[in-house]
Amino acid sequence: MAAAMPLALVVLLLLGPGGPARAESPRDSLREELVITPLPSGDVAATFQFRIRWDSELQREGVSHYRLFPKALGQLISKYSLRELHLSFTQGFWRTRYWGPPFLQASSGAELWVWFQDTVTDVDKSWKELSNVLSGIFCASLNFIDSTNTVTPTASFKPLGLANDTDHYFLRYAVLPREVVCTENLTPWKKLLPCSSKAGLSVLLKADRLFHTRYHSQAVHIRPICRNARCTSISWELRQTLSVVFDAFITGQGKKDWSLFRMFSRTLTEPCPLASESRVYVDITNYSQDNETVEVNPPPTTTYEDVILGTRRTYAVYDLLDTAMINNSRNLNLQLKWKKPPENGYIHYQPAQDRLQPHLLEMLIQLPANSVTKVSIQFERALLKWTEYTPDPNHGFYISPSVLSALVPSMVAAKPVDWEGSPLFNTLFPVSDGSSYFVRLYTEPLLVNLPTPDFSMPYNVICLTCTVVAVCYGSFYNLLTRTFHIEEPSTGGLAKRLANLIRRARGVPPL
Amino acid sequence: MISDDQAEQFFRSGHTNNWAVLVCTSRFWFNYRHVANTLSVYRSVKRLGIPDSHIVLMLADDMACNPRNPKPATVFSHKNMELNVYGDDVEVDYRSYEVTVENFLRVLTGRIPPSTPRSKRLLSDDRSNILIYMTGHGGNGFLKFQDSEEITNIELADAFEQMWQKRRYNELLFIIDTCQGASMYERFYSPNIMALASSQVGEDSLSHQPDPAIGVHLMDRYTFYVLEFLEEINPASQTNMNDLFQVCPKSLCVSTPGHRTDLFQRDPKNVLITDFFGSVRKVEITTETISLQQYSEMESSYKEDQMDEELMEPLKYAEQLPVAQIIHQKPKLKDWHPPGGFILGLWALIIMVFFKTYGIKHMKFIF
């Protein structure tokens, strides 16, 4: 109830100053962009960015007319006096080693960091209320953000937008790593877009394809930027970004050819009528070490070249607002094909069957020059049946060594030798051509310590049990089944008489 | 011209808005079917007209984007994979750890912390018909939430009574699909409540069929047949509650579904399914036209605003990693707080003991 009251007050303020004659003119523009980057590992990354620039001072004047800029976020900026807001939801991890550097990486789970204006008196209270409101907007459990997972960084997370002074007291940062990202977070994110998911690049945003990926990150960034080159006035920028990485094996079934239809199960039909710019960029930089080039179909009209993240890259540009590219009768389905024939690799794997046959793994690899290639296999240790242990199980179990058969290029060309004329050490392996020689190398056998049971246990248990049974049960049995009667001691007996005789002779008292 | 019966029917139900509270209380992948149950009811309710703003959907675990789901972002109700009940437009209001007994009772009774967003509130009034659907693992008199706590039938009945006292519902339909579900509605005592359960006390509710591709059971029998029944309802249909009571006979469901109507004022045969599952929308068509202001008029005022909004000094972007500034920044002095009562008392005690043992003569050296 209390939250409804201030909200009502804010609404009144927004409607108040709007004069009857001059309506609020919408001064916002939308740019949308999709960057498709084929990655060195055969996967493909797609990064969407939807950017709305709004030339308005949200603090100074009351705003009553929202056109492209979503009202839900605009009201947040004015109510909580935000300077910057960055909220991201991520599932997966960006593998920089295989995929190269990302444009924008985010923490796995939900990450929220906010710069408040310096007019805010109680930053912690605004932060708590803001996270609650955002949890309602994005259907996420951001209401779990409280003082136990919020920090105020003192050196990093400087504002990404315009900032005159940076007193870190107004910055708050929180991460919820357990947060799951699913369709219910994508749905409100899509609804913030001006064209929703009906036209333009956002028709490609289908949940069942976007979540079948190795990496999915969607974010909302709000910050103030320069309105013009002289930078004398402020505009608000809202960027909605979505990055996904499609896996070559899961979605591509092992082939490295990609198309928009294969990735998103949709093609582009029309640009968003509200967008001033709507482009698709495809990274066609040659990967010089493999000598592979990617061929894009339909051929692009223009290319764009620049130094991105430290390296020079070339992009093919497709402008959706260009009617030659896309119109009512043509859909745009970009296709990427790799020109080099598929690499000649070979893998053969035969899994083990318990107590029947072992694992067999054979791989043909082409090693790149001046590099180190590591091949590793993970295995688990299991318990054997107790009769299968050797008499000395604490020694360990041996795993047979790996075999490496290689063709090593020679420094000097060798000529084919005559088997009978040359020494024996030169004719171990047949040589087909002199440019390389064949070697077969072995690794050490691996000695694995398996968990061994205590073999003395059965013996100990039998001893203990038998003792207990004999002592307790035996005693009880005797007590219960035997009857006791008093016996008169026998008076006579030959042995006794003889013994008494001898005792009398010795002088010892008789029995 | 509308006849008298049509006019009477228009006003028969007495409610002006519809709400739905759909709760799945089970966590873990093998309870996939409970999430599928709840999402099927969600889907039917949305299809029949209740908007997301009037639905409070609580799912205790995420099945669609679970790493064990071979088809991400989907939840299926039938092993032929025909119906993805998760859909493309779902809005889950309470998810994962937020689905607790406390939050559920707070939603029902309206006693919610002030910063809760609207989508997480049940903003019903005394003319609201509310559908409450619960599913999960239950027993005789309780329903288990997330394997760590439970709600008893007495607590639930008291919550409904609170709702009645606060005039938070006009009529309430309570459906529960758990083992021994009928025990949950035994204790209700507030008026205008109709309840359905999938099994009687002492019986277990069984699941429908497993799917070899996904590896778990996809749905429970009772909700499966209720979903089949609801798929044939459209917003204008006249099917009544008596048909819903017949939905899953013992031959199909193995358990005996039960229902309770003694607290309900109207006769179930007069209660339409759409009174609870659909949404009341009384639409008036008008033939007047409204003209909107032209866009070009606003353009002209844009130019004059451009002139008078320039600031004096140019602004600049912040440096992202100002190393020199960071190294030389002084650590912020924490605000000084005066020592608390305990510390003061402790020091006073120490000083008193000192002066008592060594005598008062030391005092003159201090003062």
CA A419 to the chain's CA centroid: 57
Q: Give the residue-averaged pLDDT of A245-267.
A: 79
Contact (CB<8Å) A163/B314: no
Neighbours of B15 (CB within 10 A): 19
Structure token pair of residue A395: 């020694």
- Residues of B labelled catalytic: 137, 179
pLDDT at A9 exceeding the cut of 50? no
For residue A126, give the nearest of A78, A59, A56 by alpha carbon.
Answer: A78
Give B15 to chain A, closest Cα distance, Å: 23
ipTM of the complex: 0.81
Selected for mutation to probe chain B from A66, A208, A247, A264 (highest B CB count within 10 Å) is A208
- pLDDT for B88 equals 87
Q: In chain A, whose CA is at the least distance from the CA of B299?
A: A25
- Cα–Cα distance for residue pair B136/B27, rounded to 1 Å: 9
Collapse the DSSP code of A88 into the 3-class scheme (helix H, G, I; strand E, B; otherwise coil) and give the result: strand
Mean pLDDT calculated for residue range A301-308: 87
Peptide bond into A298 cis (omega under 30): yes
What pLDDT is attached to residue A215? 94
* Two structure tokens written together for B332: 């912020």
Report the sign of the C-alpha dihedral through residues A241, A244, A245, A248, in that order: negative
A139 with B97: Cβ contact below 8 A: no
CA distance B253 to chain A (A): 32
Chain A: residue whose CA lies nearest to B73: A208
| Cβ distance of B65 and A128 shorter than 8 Å | no
**Mean pLDDT lowest among A19-33, A199-213, B184-198:** A19-33
Contact partners, residue A206, CB within 8 Å, separation at least 6 = A264, A265, A266, B88
What are the strands of the beta sheet with B149-152, ordered from one edge? B137-139, B142-145, B149-152
B261 CB-contact burial (10 Å; exposed 0-12 / middle 13-18 / buried 19+): middle
Residues whose CB falls within 8 Å of the CB of residue B101, separated by 6 or more in sequence, listed in order: B145, B149, B150, B151, B155
Taking alpha carbons only, the member of B89, B131, B93, B120 closest to residue B230 is B131
Which residue from A190, A185, A157, A184 is spatially nearest to A171, judged by alpha carbons? A157
User: CA of B173 to nearest chain A CA: how many angstroms apart?
Assistant: 26
DSSP-derived 3-state class of residue A461: helix
Give the chain B residue nearest A191 (alpha carbons): B89
Q: Which two tokens stand for residue A220?
A: 């909302």
Which of A196, A78, A212 has the alpha carbon at shortest distance from B73?
A212
8 Å CB contact of A2 and B305: no
**Test the A interface: residue of B95, B97, B321 with most A CBs within 10 Å:** B95
B244: nearest Cα among B188, B319, B194? B194
SS3 content of chain B, % helix, strand, coil (to 5): 35, 15, 50
Min Cα–Cα distance to chain B from A456, Å:
41
pLDDT at site B263: 92
Single-letter amino acid code for the residue at A27: R
Between A and B, how many CB-CB pairs are < 8 A?
Answer: 141
Q: Give how far A349 is from chain B: nearest CA, Å.
A: 24
- Residue B118: closest C-alpha in chain A: A136
Can you give the pLDDT at residue B297?
Answer: 45
Cβ neighbours of residue B304 closer than 8 Å, sequence gap 6 or more: none
Residues 261-300 of B with CB under 8 A from A: 293, 297-299
Which residues make beta-bridge pairs with B222? none
Helix, strand, coil shares of chain A, percent, nearest 5, are: 25, 30, 50
Lowest mean pLDDT among A113-122, A215-224, B326-335: B326-335
C-alpha pair distances (Å), A173 with each of A115, A167, B111, B325:
9, 14, 29, 21
**Average pLDDT of the residues in A80-109:** 91
Out of A57, A187, A230, name the one closest to residue B91 (CB): A187
- pLDDT of amino acid B5: 61
SS (H, E, C) B98-154: HCCHHHHHHHHHCCCCCCCCHHHCCCCCCCEEEEEEEECEEECCEEEECCCEEEEHH
B65·A91 Cβ contact <8 A: yes
C-alpha distance from B97 to closest chain A C-alpha (Å) = 8
pLDDT of residue A14: 41
Instruction: Identify the sign of the CA torsion B9, B10, B11, B16.
Output: positive
Q: What is the DSSP letter of A384?
A: P
Q: CA–CA separation, A239 vs A69, rounded Å?
A: 10
A158/B73 Cβ within 8 A: no
Closest residue, chain B, to A225 (C-alpha)? B317
Q: Are strands B137-139 and B128-135 parallel, antiparallel or unpaired?
A: unpaired
pLDDT in tens, A145-175: 999 999 999 888 999 988 887 888 999 999 9
Distance from CA of A321 to the nearest CA of B (A): 22
Cβ pair A303, A295 in contact under 8 A: no
d(CA B219, CA B235): 25
Measured between beta carbons, the chain B residues lying within 8 angstroms of A188 are: 91
Q: Which residue has the higher pLDDT, B47 or A57?
A: B47
What average pLDDT is seen over chain A? 84
Confirm if B28 and B147 have CB atoms less than 8 A apart.
Answer: yes
CA B364 – CA B367 distance, rounded (Å)? 5
- Classified as helix, coil or strand, A225 is strand
Contact B316 A231 (CB under 8 A): yes
The three-state secondary structure class of B302 is: helix
Helix (H) / strand (E) containing B21: strand B17-24
Calculate the CA dihedral of residues A122, A123, A125, A127 and round it to 10 degrees.
160
Helices (runs of H) and strands (runs of E) counted in chain A? 10, 20
Two tokens, residue A33 = 């962009």
Query: Which secondary structure element, helix H or strand E, spans residue B276, and what is its range?
Result: helix B274-277
Across-strand partners of A442? Answer: A403
Mutation target among B57, B65, B94 for the A interface, most CBs of A within 10 A: B65
Residue of A28, A182, A233 to mutate, testing the B interface (most B Cβ within 10 Å of its Cβ): A182
β-pairing, A275-283 vs A28-38, is parallel
- Residue B195, classed as helix, strand or coil, is strand
H helices of A44-177, in order, are 71-80, 96-99, 123-137
Locate the chain B residue with the closest alpha carbon to A179: B96
Does A143 sit within 8 Å of B309, measured CB to CB? no
pLDDT score for A288:
46
Residue A133 CB burial class (10 angstroms; 0-12, 13-18, ≥19): buried
pLDDT for res A36: 92
Query: Residues of B numbered 313-342 whose beta carbons fall under 8 angstroms of chain A's beta carbons: which are they?
Result: 313-322, 326, 329, 331-332
Cβ contact B321–A22 (<8 Å): no
Could you tell me the sign of the dihedral formed by the alpha carbons of A284, A285, A287, A291, in that order?
positive
**Binary contact (B74, A210; C-beta < 8 A):** no
User: Which residue(s) pair with A319 in the sheet?
Assistant: A279
Q: Which tokens in the block code for residue B46?
A: 């949305």
Which pair of tokens denotes residue B219?
């749905």
Residue numbers in B near A160 (CB within 8 A): 317-318, 320
Residue A175 has a CB neighbour count (10 Å cut-off) of 19
Please give the Cα distance from A446 to A397 (Å, whole number).
Answer: 8
**Quick check: A166 and B92 CB within 8 A?**
no
Mean pLDDT (10-residue bins), chain B, 367 residues: 58 81 94 94 93 94 91 86 85 93 95 92 94 94 92 96 95 94 93 93 86 89 92 89 90 89 90 89 80 60 48 74 78 73 91 81 66
Q: What is the pLDDT of residues A403-442, one digit of tens each?
A: 999 888 888 777 776 778 888 887 788 776 778 888 899 9
- For position B19, what pLDDT does the model report? 95
- Mutate: best of A158, A184, A228, A235, partner B, most B CBs <10 A: A184
Q: Which amino acid is located at A142 in the chain?
A: L
d(CA B288, CA B356): 95
For A163, which of B120, B297, B318 is closest by C-beta distance?
A: B318
Q: What was the pLDDT predicted at A341?
A: 52
C-alpha torsion B133→B136→B141→B146, nearest 10: -120
Q: What are phi and psi of B339, to 5 degrees?
A: -60, 145
Q: Report the C-alpha dihedral over residues A209, A211, A215, A216, rounded to 10 degrees.
A: 100
Which of B64, B86, B115 has the CB atom closest to A128's CB atom?
Answer: B115
Give the gyration radius of chain A's Cα atoms: 40
Q: A435 near A453, Cβ under 8 Å?
A: no
Residue A442 parent element (H or E):
strand A436-442
Reply yes or no on whether the pLDDT at A140 is more than 50.
Answer: yes
Q: What does the DSSP assignment read for A107-136?
A: -SEEEEEEEE-TT-S-HHHHHHHHHHHHHH
